[in-house]
């Protein structure tokens, strides 16, 4: 190809035609219609056909080659007209009909209730959640400072919105940089297994992602750049750990105790405390006897020991969840021998482009066609919104083991066929690789063949015998074999249910948050808790997503609810708001009931979504739309105001 033009204005038809070969058409057509005002571009004859419930997205929305040709021709003509007209964007279409036409082109017919949520996710024409109020105007003279615990994905979003509204805040972060889990997880092969076009803020969308599934370093840099670009870094107190928070009933304020890197403790006062500590920050080690006796090097995947050179060594990995699934293929080629201790095999969704860079044409179009990347992001988001929920929903009449409904069983068959094909010629592995639990009982992993390639290498041993104990020289399994190792890596997950671990939280009447929660944390919408006025949680209990939507979007929803709560406090002059226990009780009953009817909630399926009692403490089981609607603003009737 000849030299790339620096702008759309100087691109020739031939060049545009070449770029369009890499375009993703289901999102390109509405993007161009929005840009040019020509709604004919979202015509039925090029409408994606497979935007309904699906696990594996059909390429180009299932358009036939002829339809794709037609769409590209129209797109080229639209781009040429736009270029020749001086690259002037049309006024954003504001009518309901136009919005419906653009969005439903990608989504298929949807209830109008979805439109505000979809507009928010798209971020066009405006950032819907940007506050239209200022603290100084609502509560003149009132000092209301907020403490945010954690500068990861949720904490930064909260900080940004508070900053926009002019609410004073401090972020406390125990690490020396922002990024949360993406800072802490530095194991080889770490990358997003959700499209980064969804795993990014609606208010800070990027047109230059190098991959669709970002490397860990890329998503870490995204959060680091976000904190710089949005002016948040200077509001973060790094290497400062919150150790306690106590609600002072007389003053109606929180007294927060922090410990700095030099060990000095300090007590500070805040109007509200916002926990943004996430769910996956406390490594979980298995309760296997002898762990302390291992004489080699050992560490958890989330605390990777970069001083250990694994080349040529005998390396054991315990676990076969999302972390192991990325670690194992990345180290398999360089270690002397790899011993994978797998208790339960994972279900995997075929994703051939998992590690691929973006196609050059698509990259160029994102950079030069205004807003196209937003529509692409939107399509990624939409196809994972409510569409996949049905695959995980339990049919109470269904009795076949290994699945929870006819739809879940059909998915099981498809995924089983995929796994059997991957281990063709290795009946020993085929037998061990089909999960006994229903698809979506645990997190589904993305598969581009790398896991199977590593497991079939000569230097890899798959061990499925139960681990009896860890010895000074390795791992002893129940069949009496001692697997000798130099290094042992724990890919054994996190104590997810242990929200706010390490922080003593005392509410009204001396209530202790950890005692109140025990091993069954619950919060209304994952956000507010009775007895703890003005304590708000982000990505709190029951807000993790398995099949529908994006956790960044969910965090933004919670951020919005918290911001609206702060607005309410400032506007009414109340010092604090406390959730009524009966509101939590009826909400939690509904959530628990719904979780029990999802593949991850059924008895006999173990996963990190359940606490030790077996109740699902982590996941949101209802629709994405419902969470969006419930988090638009706090209902004053749900709270006692102090």
Binding site for ligand NAP (CB under 6 A): 191-194, 280, 286, 288, 301, 318-324, 326, 341, 343-344, 443, 467, 491-494, 606, 608
In terms of CB distance, is 286 or 350 closer to ligand NAP?
A: 286
Closer residue to ligand NAP in complex, CB, 249/468: 468
Rg (CA), the chain: 26
Q: DSSP H helical segments within 123-273, as ranges?
A: 135-138, 153-164, 181-184, 216-229
Q: How far is the CB of 319 from ligand NAP (least distance, A)?
A: 3
Q: Rounded to 5 degrees, what are φ and ψ at 446?
A: -90, 130
Q: How far is the CB of 198 from ligand NAP (least distance, A)?
A: 11
Q: How far apart, in whole angstroms, are the C-alpha atoms of residue 325 and residue 312? A: 20
Closest CB 496 distance from ligand NAP, rounded Å: 8
The CB-of-171 to ligand NAP minimum distance in angstroms stands at: 23
Q: In angstroms, rounded to a whole number, what is the distance separating the alpha carbons of residues 481 and 478?
A: 7
Q: How far is the CB of 526 from ligand NAP (least distance, A)?
A: 16
CB of 39 to ligand NAP, least distance (A): 37
Minimal distance, residue 493 CB to ligand NAP, in Å: 3
> For the purposes of burial, counting CB atoms within 10 Å of the CB of 568, is it exposed (0-12), middle (13-18) or buried (19 or more)?
middle
- Is 51 buried (19+), middle (13-18) or exposed (0-12) by CB count in 10 A? buried
With contact defined as beta carbons under 8 Å apart, do 470 and 291 qualify?
yes
SS3 label, residue 537: strand
CA-based diameter of the chain, in Å?
77
Specify whether the CB–CB gap between 274 and 563 falls below 8 A.
no
Measure Cα distances from 402 to 54, 60, 335, 444, 599 in Å: 20, 32, 35, 15, 10
CB contact set of 39 (below 8 Å; sequence gap of 6+): 33, 93, 98, 101, 102
Report how far residue 298's alpha carbon sits from residue 590's, in angstroms, rounded to the nearest whole number.
Answer: 42
- Which of 202/323 has CB closer to ligand NAP? 323
Tokens representing 23 are 């375009």
Q: How far apart are CB 199 and ligand NAP at their closest, in Å?
A: 8
Closer by beta carbon to ligand NAP, 89 or else 478? 478
CB of 286 to ligand NAP, least distance (A): 3
Stated length of the chain: 642
Assigned token pair, 62: 């299932």
Residue 173 CA to residue 227 CA, distance in Å, equals 13
Q: Which residues contact residue 457 at a Cβ distance below 8 angstroms, ignoring those fewer than 6 apart?
A: 332, 333, 338
CA distance 293 to 404: 42
- Three-state secondary structure call for residue 414: helix
**Residue with smaller CB distance to ligand NAP, 278 or 530:** 278
Q: Which is nearer to ligand NAP, 443 or 453 (CB)?
A: 443
Minimum distance from CB of 478 to ligand NAP (Å)?
11
| CA–CA distance, 503 with 526 (Å, rounded to integer) | 18
Residue among 376 and 494 whose Cβ is closer to ligand NAP: 494
Closest to ligand NAP by CB, 238 or 304: 304
CB 107 within 8 A of CB 132: no
The nearer residue to ligand NAP, 149 or 318, going by C-beta atoms, is 318
Q: Is the dihedral of CA 398, 403, 408, 410 positive or negative?
A: negative
Task: Decide if 159 contacts 559 (C-beta within 8 A).
Answer: no
Q: What does DSSP say about strands 314-318 and 487-490: parallel, antiparallel, or unpaired?
A: parallel
Q: What is the arrangement of strands in the sheet containing 265-270, beginning at the earlier edge strand?
A: 265-270, 253-260, 240-248, 504-506
Residue 304 CB, nearest approach to ligand NAP (Å): 12
DSSP output for 314-364:
EEEEE--SHHHHHHHHHHTTTBSEEEEE-SSPPPEEE-TTTTPBPPHHHHH
Cα–Cα distance for residue pair 351/328, rounded to 1 Å: 18
Beta carbon of residue 360, minimum distance to ligand NAP (angstroms, whole number): 25
Q: Which of 36/351 has CB closer to ligand NAP?
A: 351
Nearer to ligand NAP, 301 or 351 (CB): 301
- At closest approach, how far in Å is the CB of 614 from ligand NAP? 14
Q: Which is nearer to ligand NAP, 197 or 247 (CB)?
A: 197
Specify the residue for token string 């929870």. 404
The least CB distance from residue 279 to ligand NAP, in Å, is 8
Among residues 322 and 616, whose Cβ is nearest to ligand NAP?
Answer: 322
Tokens of 577: 């708001």
- In the bound complex, what is the minimum distance in angstroms from residue 266's beta carbon to ligand NAP? 33
**For ligand NAP, the closer CB: 139 or 150:** 150
Judged by CB, which is closer to ligand NAP: 108, or 286? Answer: 286
* E strand or H helix that includes residue 482: strand 482-484
């Amino acid at each position: 190809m000849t030299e790339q033009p620096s702008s759309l204005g100087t691109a020739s038809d031939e060049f545009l035609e070449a770029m369009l070969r890499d375009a993703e058409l289901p999102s390109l057509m509405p993007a161009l219609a929005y840009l040019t005002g020509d709604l004919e571009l979202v015509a039925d004859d090029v409408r994606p056909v497979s935007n309904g419930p699906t696990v594996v997205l059909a390429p180009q929305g299932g358009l036939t080659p002829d339809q794709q040709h037609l769409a590209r021709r129209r797109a080229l003509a639209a781009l040429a007209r736009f270029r020749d007209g001086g690259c002037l964007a049309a006024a954003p279409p504001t009518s309901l009909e136009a919005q419906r036409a653009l969005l439903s082109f990608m989504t298929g017919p949807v209830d109008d209730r979805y439109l505000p949520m979809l507009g928010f996710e798209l971020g066009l024409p405006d950032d819907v959640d940007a506050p239209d109020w200022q603290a100084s105007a609502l509560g003149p003279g009132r000092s209301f400072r907020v403490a945010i615990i954690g500068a990861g994905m949720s904490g930064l979003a909260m900080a940004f919105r508070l900053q926009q509204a002019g609410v004073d805040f401090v972020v406390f972060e125990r690490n020396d940089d922002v990024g949360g889990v993406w800072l802490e997880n530095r194991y080889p092969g770490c990358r997003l297994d959700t499209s980064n076009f969804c795993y990014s803020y609606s208010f800070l969308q990027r047109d230059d992602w190098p991959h669709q599934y970002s490397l860990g370093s890329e998503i870490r840099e995204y959060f680091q750049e976000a904190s710089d670009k949005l002016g948040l870094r200077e509001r973060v107190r790094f290497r400062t750990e919150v150790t306690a928070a106590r609600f002072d009933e007389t003053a109606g304020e929180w007294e927060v105790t922090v410990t700095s890197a030099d060990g000095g403790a300090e007590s500070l006062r805040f109007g509200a405390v916002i926990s943004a500590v996430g769910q996956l920050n406390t490594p979980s080690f298995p309760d296997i006897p002898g762990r302390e006796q291992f004489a080699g090097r050992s560490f958890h995947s989330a605390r990777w020991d970069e001083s250990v050179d694994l080349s040529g060594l005998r390396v054991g990995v315990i676990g076969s969840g999302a972390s192991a699934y990325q670690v194992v293929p990345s180290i398999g080629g360089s270690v002397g021998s790899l011993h994978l201790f797998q208790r339960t095999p994972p279900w995997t969704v075929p994703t051939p482009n998992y590690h691929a860079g973006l196609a050059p044409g698509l990259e160029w179009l994102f950079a030069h066609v205004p807003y196209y990347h937003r529509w692409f992001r939107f399509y990624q988001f939409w196809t994972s919104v409510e569409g996949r929920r049905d695959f995980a929903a339990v049919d109470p009449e269904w009795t076949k083991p290994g699945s929870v409904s006819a739809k879940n069983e059909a998915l099981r068959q498809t995924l089983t066929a995929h796994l059997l094909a991957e281990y063709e010629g290795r009946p020993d592995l085929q037998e061990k690789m089909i999960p006994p639990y229903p698809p979506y009982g645990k997190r589904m992993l993305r598969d581009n063949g790398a896991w199977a390639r590593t497991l079939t290498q000569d230097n890899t041993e798959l061990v499925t015998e139960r681990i009896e104990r860890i010895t000074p020289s390795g791992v002893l399994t129940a069949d009496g074999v001692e697997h000798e190792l130099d290094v042992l890596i724990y890919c054994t997950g996190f104590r997810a249910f242990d929200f706010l671990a390490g922080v003593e939280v005392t509410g009204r009447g001396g209530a202790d948050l950890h005692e109140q929660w025990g091993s069954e944390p619950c919060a209304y919408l994952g956000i507010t808790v009775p007895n703890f006025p003005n304590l708000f949680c982000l990505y709190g209990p029951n807000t993790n997503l398995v099949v529908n939507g994006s956790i960044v979007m969910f965090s933004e929803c919670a951020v919005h609810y918290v911001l609206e709560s702060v607005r309410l406090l400032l506007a009414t002059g109340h010092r604090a708001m406390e959730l009524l226990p009966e509101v939590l009780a009826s909400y939690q009953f509904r959530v628990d009931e719904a979780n029990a009817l999802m593949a991850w909630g059924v008895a006999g399926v173990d996963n990190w979504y359940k606490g030790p009692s077996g109740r699902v403490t982590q996941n949101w089981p209802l629709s994405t739309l419902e969470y969006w609607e419930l988090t638009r603003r706090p209902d004053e009737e749900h709270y006692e105001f102090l």
